[in-house]
Amino acid sequence: MVRRYKLFRDPLLLIALALMVASLAYIVYSFLPHVSSTNPSNILEEYVKAIQSLNKSSTALEKRVAGFYTVAPNISDVAIARDRIRGYLRNLSMMYGFNNSNFLVNTAKNYLYIAEAATNTTKGYLYINNSIDILRESLELLSICRVRDALTRYNRIEDYVLSSLSSIAKAVSMLNKVNKSCVAENHVPVIEASLERLEKVYTSIKSADDLMRIAKRYEDYIEALCSNQTINDAAALNSIQNELNQITVSGPLSPEVSNAQNTLIALIQSYLYGQSMNQQNQSGNYVGGGAGYVPPESSD
């Protein structure tokens, strides 16, 4: 008993024990889940930044594809808001689990979807901003049968166009995941309008890209059609026409896509009609011309 009493009167031993307890407490604390240092008012600001970035970036993207020069949000600022929401959600999930029944977790998860959509929309804008003017010029050149010039320009910006489509598709996917009952009521119209813009822009860029890819794939045939050369492959021309007819034309690039699409379809139809008339003429059933045939002027 006396020995135990003397033991706790030893100051050096007490200091050593205190240090051991403090070290153990720190180790245990460091492994415990903690709510983010971002306080509730600050995280609400990040939610607002995410929705504002989505609205601004989707509007800027739509206007840029339509031919207007606009300014999108700074990609770094958008990414910072996304990362803060992601960190907040991660810490909440460590405390409560990734549980849809928890209000804080569910709200953070849905605003993370919005922030991810805003980030990808801004990326899509940056890619299309570097390519949309040349893409539009490529379509215009294709519509006047300058096929090689059109493809030369398209090849320069093809990667940008594809990257833009990929980013926009990711943004659309994120917005489709949002549970609108878990976000602020006044943010729902922004989400819906942004999603509509993104889907419209995606379809428009995709139709332009599809058309240029057809021209690239069948360059020799289209060159021959434009120069009125003989093509002994009606099946291939019908196949090209079917692919062209499958392109859905809509959105800001509709005029350019429609002009090029109609030009190519008209060339194919005219050639096939001429070939058909030529075959009838050779069989004695019709007096007329073949491909490129021009009826004689009236003698009146």
Could you read off the pLDDT of 18-77 as tens digits, one per residue? 656 555 544 444 444 444 444 555 899 999 999 999 999 999 999 999 999 888 899 999
For residue 5 the two structure tokens come to 């009493």
Question: By percentage, how much of the chain surpasses pLDDT 90?
Answer: 67
For residue 235 the two structure tokens come to 């099946």
Domain that holds residue 110: 40-207
Query: Both 86 and 158 in a single domain?
Result: yes
How far apart are the C-alpha atoms of 273 and 42, rounded to whole Å?
A: 69
Query: Both 45 and 112 in a single domain?
Result: yes
Residue 82 clears pLDDT 80, i.e. is over it: yes
For 156-171, write each residue's pLDDT tens digit: 999 999 999 999 999 9
How far apart are the C-alpha atoms of 99 and 109, rounded to whole Å?
A: 10
Would you give the distance in Å from CA 86 to the centre of its chain? Answer: 21
Q: Are 153 and 138 in contact (CB under 8 A)?
A: yes
Query: Both 193 and 58 in a single domain?
Result: yes
CB atoms within 10 A of CB 10: 11
For 219-256, write each residue's pLDDT tens digit: 999 999 999 898 889 999 999 999 999 999 999 999 99
The residue type of 158 is: E
Count of the separate structural domains present in the chain: 2
Helices 103-129 and 147-177 cross at an angle (nearest 10°) of 170
Mean pLDDT of the chain: 85
For 126-166, write each residue's pLDDT tens digit: 999 999 999 999 999 999 999 999 999 999 999 999 999 99
Query: Both 252 and 150 in a single domain?
Result: no
Residues in the chain: 300
The residue type of 231 is: I
Query: Both 194 and 46 in a single domain?
Result: yes
Query: Both 140 and 229 in a single domain?
Result: no
Residue 87 in 3-state DSSP?
helix
Output the pLDDT for position 84: 95
Sign for the pseudo-dihedral over CA of 249, 250, 251, 254: positive
Residue 3 falls within a domain, yes or no?
no
